[in-house]
């Protein structure tokens, strides 16, 4: 016999799939739902957590629980030849940017190859599909190489080829992990939903890091595709 929280989750899931609750619609309050199912608020929240982990429901703090609108699946197709980090994605998304001057924390010193507390410019990009947050990206640039003016939304497409000095090598590393509490809150995803963490580091001819980017791509809406072209082996002339 299923537990009460699973029975409640099954009933709400059926109501969502049957169209009783439509995408974007706010569910009844947790108090109302707890009364309807004659359970405690903690049991009701546990049932909602199951639906949140499945991506069916999202909780917006201060506003309630909503049926999640299906978000487009995007594919990251990066590589050294990609003219901009954003054209690497298969679908256009609306983006906002926030710029801050920081001192390099310990976890960035090794990545950037700089001493602790080195001045950096941090640019936080947030992508949206409609009103829903889709993914995050942090870009770090040495302070002396950063743009003099704040990054504006219409300037977000600036590519790596436009950096000064331009990069001579780009490395990318992809791993899967659980989101941090902050990432889960900003992206409105369950803390149990795995994300793709993609780190992209560009260096110039001297080996200096000129740009480092960290992408946070929720696993339910992103893939990463890398293609290598293999040169044909020619037989030696007779």
CATH topology of domain 4-67: Arc Repressor Mutant, subunit A (1.10.10)
Q: Give yes or no for residue 217 having a pLDDT over 50.
A: yes
Domain 74-224 has CATH 3.40.1410.10: yes
Bridge-partner residues for 212, per DSSP?
140, 201
Parallel/antiparallel/unpaired status of strands 94-103 and 119-129? antiparallel
For residue 65, give Cα distances in angstroms to 10, 59, 116, 174: 16, 4, 42, 32
Give me the half-sphere count of Cα atoms (radius 13 Å) on the Cβ side of residue 114: 23
Q: Give yes or no for residue 230 having a pLDDT over 60.
A: yes
How do residues 126-185 score in pLDDT, each as one tens digit?
888 877 888 898 889 887 776 655 554 444 444 444 555 567 888 889 999 999 999 988
Whether residue 87 contacts residue 95, with contact meaning beta carbons closer than 8 Å, is answered with no
d(CA 189, CA 182): 10
d(CA 158, CA 179): 27
CB atoms near residue 227 (< 10 Å): 6
The answer to whether the bond into 172 is cis (omega within 30° of 0) is no
Phi and psi at 182, nearest 5°, equal: -65, -45
| Range(s) of the chain covered by CATH 1.10.10.10 | 4-67
| Range(s) of the chain covered by CATH 3.40.1410.10 | 74-224
- Global pTM reads 0.68
């Amino acid at each position: 016999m299923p537990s009460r929280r699973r029975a409640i989750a099954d009933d709400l899931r059926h109501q969502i799939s049957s169209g009783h609750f439509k995408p974007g619609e706010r569910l009844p309050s947790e108090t109302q739902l707890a009364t309807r199912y004659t359970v405690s608020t903690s049991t009701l929240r546990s049932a909602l957590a199951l639906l949140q982990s499945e991506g069916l429901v999202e909780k917006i703090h201060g506003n309630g629980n909503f049926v999640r609108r299906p978000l487009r699946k995007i594919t990251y197709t990066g590589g050294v030849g990609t003219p901009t980090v954003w054209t690497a994605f298969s679908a256009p998304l609306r983006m906002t940017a926030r710029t801050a001057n920081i001192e390099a924390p310990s976890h960035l010193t090794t990545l950037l190859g700089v001493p602790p507390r080195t001045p950096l410019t941090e640019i936080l990009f947030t992508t949206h599909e409609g009103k829903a947050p889709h993914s995050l990206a942090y870009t770090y640039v040495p302070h002396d190489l950063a743009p003099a003016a704040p990054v504006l939304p219409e300037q977000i497409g600036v590519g790596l080829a436009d950096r000064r000095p331009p990069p001579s090598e780009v490395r990318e590393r992809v791993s899967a992990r659980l989101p941090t509490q902050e990432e889960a809150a900003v992206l409105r995803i369950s803390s149990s939903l795995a994300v793709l963490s993609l780190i992209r580091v560009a260096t110039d001819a001297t080996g200096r890091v000129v740009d480092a980017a960290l992408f946070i791509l929720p696993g339910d809406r992103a893939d990463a595709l890398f293609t290598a072209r293999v040169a044909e082996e020619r037989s030696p002339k007779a």
